[in-house]
């Protein structure tokens, strides 16, 4: 058994083999092993957070990660950003006929390792196979359940600040370089990572208003989403924005703006300034205050540029980099 | 806005428009409207059932349903078959560039209608766009949370019987006919339906051992799965198996076996004979006892044929009908 066949999706003997020989041994846990149509989970005795994401990243392997790591981190991060502590994940695979079984193994192990590191179990799943197109496509959906730890909302206060947990755009840039086979002198890795520990540190602050990870659309689009339903505006300071030098080189070469490149392991949080300073020290990895909440220009995002000008930022329009997650 | 563009998956302005104008209004409910990275759900105070399924059915529209109805029924049914009462669903779309927005609307409304009829809310979601291939592909993942109502297991007793809630293989046959543009004289519709009410009726019987819906692989494959982890064998009686006459005609023409054709709205349950007779009367729609549990030939499924012979049935091997769900 080297490549995925249409029969691996038939629901018959080959589907059983794939599940029994590859999927269950990789994700082994008490909830998964009964293999009913659903996993039965203990009573959390708390409010639940429920999230889902499908991953279609192309190529499936990139510097700093692969679609498996991304699919587990992505849903764990969404649960954390909604104020939850992630507990359980589902894993649903759509695999193209001809996909190499060894590559599928790599991806499943990467999912399991990432889940284990975050103390999360993959407890239920599904596998479908679609006809051969290019022979190297795989799509993964993960849905997740977490226990609500901290209710967050768009209730900001004037002079709250925005913390960004690390450099912008490394994920988007690394996917682009993997896809176009571009090589720069330095090493550029995706920031793909699990935000559970960082989010738990942020949730410990009373003044925390909201958490969000700037994925598709990047920091600029996410910041607009954070204010467009509030009564406040936001200012970002170009001089304070953390950009990896390799990402900056790539952006200079190609005319990209790092503010619109996706991150997959960065956290934005809004809180009061004193708490934010303390949090940045705890988070390390270049966490910085990058802007503030203002009563001026409600629902608008302004960038104060290095040369002292002010520019309004809009949501990403046009698609410089499709399928980055 | 008539067709899906790559930009609808960018995470930028067009993604927002799609969510705000199409998806949220269709699925409108209190949990969905905050549009955070995850939905926050009230404490169920009970054990949870968690399930997921991705749907890749081709064509997306077929006599008796479409991929939207199928995606909602499929996960609702999985939750019910695991002994749960379904409460919340997620909806994650992977749409091909060029897919018509009107078709997407049809699918979303079909999802919402099906969810509403089952008293289930779609509370969180995600949208991705992949490059144009044939221009008419859509994949939908639904994950679901239910409250555990009835713990089931493979603990059968000798002479327990198997109930099937209606005719076999209508879904598989209708997909085949839609795909190959075959027309028979009678009307053949998919059995695609929500099993919540039927499952709740079955769960009311103390002697219920287990519930399962015979989807991919059909009744034969599902029956083997039901015994292969137990100490018992199973016998099915060909003379008692309910087959729709149109499905039988198609099978006769093409050499298919209705025992291996998928159902998407049928339920198999194992319980004692007296309860089973009563349940069949309650379920109507042609629900029938089709076989029994035996201590002979453990883990093997035998078919007693109409002419009195005995034939061992195996799991589906080979794929007569790919992508039926």
- Percent of chain A clearing pLDDT 70 (strictly above): 98
| Residue B200 CA from chain centroid, whole number | 16
Using 50, 70 and 90 to split pLDDT, how confident is the model at B254? Answer: confident
Q: Which of B10, B31, B86, B152 to mutate to test the interface with A (most CBs of A within 10 A)?
A: B10
State mean pLDDT over B232-260: 95
Alpha-carbon gap, residue A254 to A169, rounded angstroms: 14
* pLDDT value of position B160: 98
The residue ranking higher by pLDDT, B10 or B173, is B173
Residues 6+ apart with CB under 8 A from A42: B47, B48
Alpha-carbon gap, residue B164 to B290, rounded angstroms: 7
Instruction: Give the closest-approach CA distance of B219 to chain A in angstroms.
Output: 11
Q: How many residues does chain A have?
A: 325
State mean pLDDT over B273-289: 97
Residue A273 has pLDDT above 60, yes or no: yes
A103 plus A238 within the same structural domain: no
Q: Is residue B111 part of a domain?
A: yes
Which range marks the domain in which residue A134 is found? 6-148
A84 plus A172 within the same structural domain: no
Tens digit of each residue's pLDDT (9 = 90 or more) over B84-117? 999 999 999 999 999 999 999 999 999 999 999 9
DSSP A186: S
**Contact: A78, B38; criterion CB under 8 Å:** yes
What value does the CA radius of gyration of chain A take, rounded to a whole number of Å? 21
**Contact: B82, A12; criterion CB under 8 Å:** no
* B56 contacts in chain A (CB < 8 Å): 94, 128, 130
Q: What is the mean pLDDT of chain B?
A: 92
Q: Is residue B324 part of a domain?
A: no
B259 plus B308 within the same structural domain: yes
* pLDDT value of position B321: 83
Query: Which of these, B179, B137, B56, lies nearest to A95 by C-alpha position?
Result: B56
Instruction: Give the closest-approach CA distance of B294 to chain A in angstroms.
Output: 22
Residues 6+ apart with CB under 8 A from B185: none
**Contact: B10, A50; criterion CB under 8 Å:** no
* pLDDT value of position B36: 63
Residues 6+ apart with CB under 8 A from B169: B218, B219, B243, B244, B247, B251, B256, B258, B259, B260, B261, B262, B263
Q: Is residue B261 part of a domain?
A: yes
Domain count, chain B: 2
* pLDDT value of position B266: 98
Alpha-carbon gap, residue B71 to B217, rounded angstroms: 18
* pLDDT value of position B11: 83
State mean pLDDT over A311-319: 90
B90 plus B186 within the same structural domain: no
Q: Which of A8, A87, A126 to mutate to test the interface with B (most CBs of B within 10 A)?
A: A126
* pLDDT value of position B33: 61
**Contact: A49, B56; criterion CB under 8 Å:** no
Residue with tokens 């999802």: B111
A87 plus A200 within the same structural domain: no
B151 touches chain A (CB under 8 A): yes
* pLDDT value of position B82: 93
B135 touches chain A (CB under 8 A): no
Query: Which of these, A232, A196, A190, lies nearest to A82 by C-alpha position?
Result: A196
Which residues is B271 bridged to in the sheet?
A: B161
- Asked if this assembly's ipTM is beyond 0.85, the reply is yes
State mean pLDDT over B184-196: 90
Using 50, 70 and 90 to split pLDDT, how confident is the model at A33? Answer: low
* A49 contacts in chain B (CB < 8 Å): 38-41
Report the half-sphere exposure of A305 (CA within 13 A, side-chain side).
Answer: 7
SS3 sequence, chain B? CCECCHHHHCCCHHHHHHHHHHHHHHHCCCCCCCCCCCEEECCCCCCEEEEEEEECCCCCEECCEEHHHHHHHHHHHHHHHCCEEEEEEEEEEEEECCCEHHHHHHHHHHHHHHHHHCCCEEEEEEEEEECCCCCCCEEEEEEEEEEECCCCCCCCCCCCEEEECCCECHHHHHHHHHHHCCCCCCCCCCCCCCCHHHHHHHHCCCCCCEEECCCCCHHHHHHHHHHCCCCCEEEEEHHHCCECHHHHHHHHHHCCCHHHCCCCCCCEEEECHHHHHHHHHHHCCCCEEEEEEECCCCCCEEEECCCCCEEEECCCCCCCCCCCC
- Percent of chain B clearing pLDDT 90 (strictly above): 77
**Contact: B316, A145; criterion CB under 8 Å:** no
* pLDDT value of position B249: 92
Which residues is B303 bridged to in the sheet?
A: B236, B311
Q: Tokens for A193? A: 């990572």
Q: Tokens for A264? A: 């997959």
Pair B91, B122: CB distance under 8 Å = yes
* B45 contacts in chain A (CB < 8 Å): 43, 45
Q: Is residue B175 part of a domain?
A: yes
| B78 to chain A: closest CA residue | A37
Q: Is residue B319 part of a domain?
A: no
CATH of the domain at A44: 3.30.1330.10
Query: Which of these, B30, B1, B31, lies nearest to B15 by C-alpha position?
Result: B1
Alpha-carbon gap, residue B253 to B250, rounded angstroms: 5
Instruction: Give the closest-approach CA distance of B292 to chain A in angstroms.
Output: 21
Q: Is residue B12 part of a domain?
A: yes
* A77 contacts in chain B (CB < 8 Å): 37
B112 plus B181 within the same structural domain: no
Residue with tokens 């044929």: B305
Using 50, 70 and 90 to split pLDDT, how confident is the model at A35? Answer: low
Of A148, A182, A205, at which residue does a domain stop? A148
The residue ranking higher by pLDDT, B27 or B294, is B294
DSSP A294: E
Of B123, B148, B173, at which residue does a domain stop? B148
Residues 6+ apart with CB under 8 A from A18: A8, A127
**Contact: B217, A11; criterion CB under 8 Å:** yes
Alpha-carbon gap, residue B238 to B226, rounded angstroms: 18
**Contact: B50, A37; criterion CB under 8 Å:** no
**Contact: B38, A55; criterion CB under 8 Å:** no
Task: Choose among B45, B53, B124: nearest Cβ to A92.
Answer: B53
* B219 contacts in chain A (CB < 8 Å): none
B34 plus B118 within the same structural domain: yes
Query: Which of these, A89, A125, A38, A17, lies nearest to B213 by C-alpha position?
Result: A38
* pLDDT value of position B1: 67
* pLDDT value of position B140: 97
Alpha-carbon gap, residue B189 to B241, rounded angstroms: 19
Task: Give chain B's end-to-end CA distance (angstroms, integer).
Answer: 29
* pLDDT value of position B185: 73
Task: Choose among A45, A124, A317: nearest Cβ to B52.
Answer: A124
Phi, psi of B147 (to 5 degrees): -100, 130
Interface of B with A in 173-202 (CB under 8 A): none
Q: Which of B4, B11, B47 to mutate to test the interface with A (most CBs of A within 10 A)?
A: B11
Q: Tokens for B323? A: 């992508």
Alpha-carbon gap, residue A220 to A259, rounded angstroms: 5
* B55 contacts in chain A (CB < 8 Å): 128
Least confident of A27-31, A202-206, A294-298, B149-153: A27-31
* A325 contacts in chain B (CB < 8 Å): 128
Residue B168 has pLDDT above 70, yes or no: yes
Q: What is the mean pLDDT of chain A?
A: 92
**Contact: A11, B124; criterion CB under 8 Å:** no
Tens digit of each residue's pLDDT (9 = 90 or more) over B6-48? 888 888 888 888 888 888 888 888 777 665 667 778 777 788 9
A175 plus A142 within the same structural domain: no
A25 plus A166 within the same structural domain: no
A83 plus A176 within the same structural domain: no
Pairing type for strands B39-41 and A48-55 reads antiparallel
Tens digit of each residue's pLDDT (9 = 90 or more) over A194-234? 999 999 999 999 999 999 999 999 999 999 999 998 999 99
Q: Is residue B106 part of a domain?
A: yes
Q: Starting at the edge strand that comes first in sequence, how are the strands of the sheet with A210-212 ordered?
A: A210-212, A268-271, A161-164, A288-294, A233-237, A301-304, A310-313
CATH of the domain at A277: 3.90.650.10
Residue A158 has pLDDT above 70, yes or no: yes
Residue A11 has pLDDT above 90, yes or no: no
**Contact: B126, A16; criterion CB under 8 Å:** no
A144 plus A172 within the same structural domain: no
Q: Is residue B325 part of a domain?
A: no
B52 touches chain A (CB under 8 A): yes
A82 plus A106 within the same structural domain: yes
Of B125, B148, B171, at which residue does a domain stop? B148
Number of helices (H), then strands (E), in chain A: 9, 14
């Amino acid at each position: 058994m080297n490549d995925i066949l249409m029969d691996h999706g038939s629901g018959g003997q080959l589907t059983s083999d794939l599940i029994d020989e590859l999927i269950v041994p990789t994700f082994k846990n008490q909830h998964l092993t009964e293999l009913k149509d659903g996993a039965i989970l203990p009573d959390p005795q708390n409010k639940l957070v429920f999230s889902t994401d499908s991953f279609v990243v192309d190529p499936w392997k990139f510097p700093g990660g692969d679609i498996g790591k991304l699919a587990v981190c992505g849903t764990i991060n969404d649960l954390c950003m909604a104020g939850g502590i992630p507990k359980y994940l589902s894993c649903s695979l759509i695999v193209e006929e001809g996909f190499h079984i060894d590559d599928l193994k790599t991806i499943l192990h990467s999912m399991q390792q990432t889940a284990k590191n975050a103390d999360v179990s993959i407890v239920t799943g599904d596998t479908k196979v679609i006809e051969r197109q290019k022979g190297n496509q795989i799509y993964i959906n993960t849905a997740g359940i977490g226990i609500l730890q901290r209710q967050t909302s768009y209730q900001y206060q004037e002079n709250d600040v925005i913390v960004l947990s690390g450099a912008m755009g490394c994920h988007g840039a690394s996917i682009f370089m993997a896809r176009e086979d571009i090589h720069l002198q330095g090493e550029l890795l995706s920031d793909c990572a699990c935000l559970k520990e960082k989010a738990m540190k942020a949730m410990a602050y009373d003044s925390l208003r909201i958490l969000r990870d700037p994925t598709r659309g990047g920091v600029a689009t996410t910041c607009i989403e954070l204010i467009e339903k509030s009564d406040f505006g936001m200012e970002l300071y170009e001089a304070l924005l953390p950009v990896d030098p390799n990402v900056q080189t790539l952006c200079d070469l190609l005319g990209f703006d790092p503010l619109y490149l996706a991150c997959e392991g960065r956290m934005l949080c809004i809180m009061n300034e004193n708490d934010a300073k303390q949090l940045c020290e705890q988070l390390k990895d270049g966490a910085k205050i990058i802007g503030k909440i203002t009563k001026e220009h409600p629902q608008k995002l302004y960038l104060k540029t290095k040369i002292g000008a002010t520019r309004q930022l809009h949501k990403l329009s046009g698609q410089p980099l499709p399928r980055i997650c």
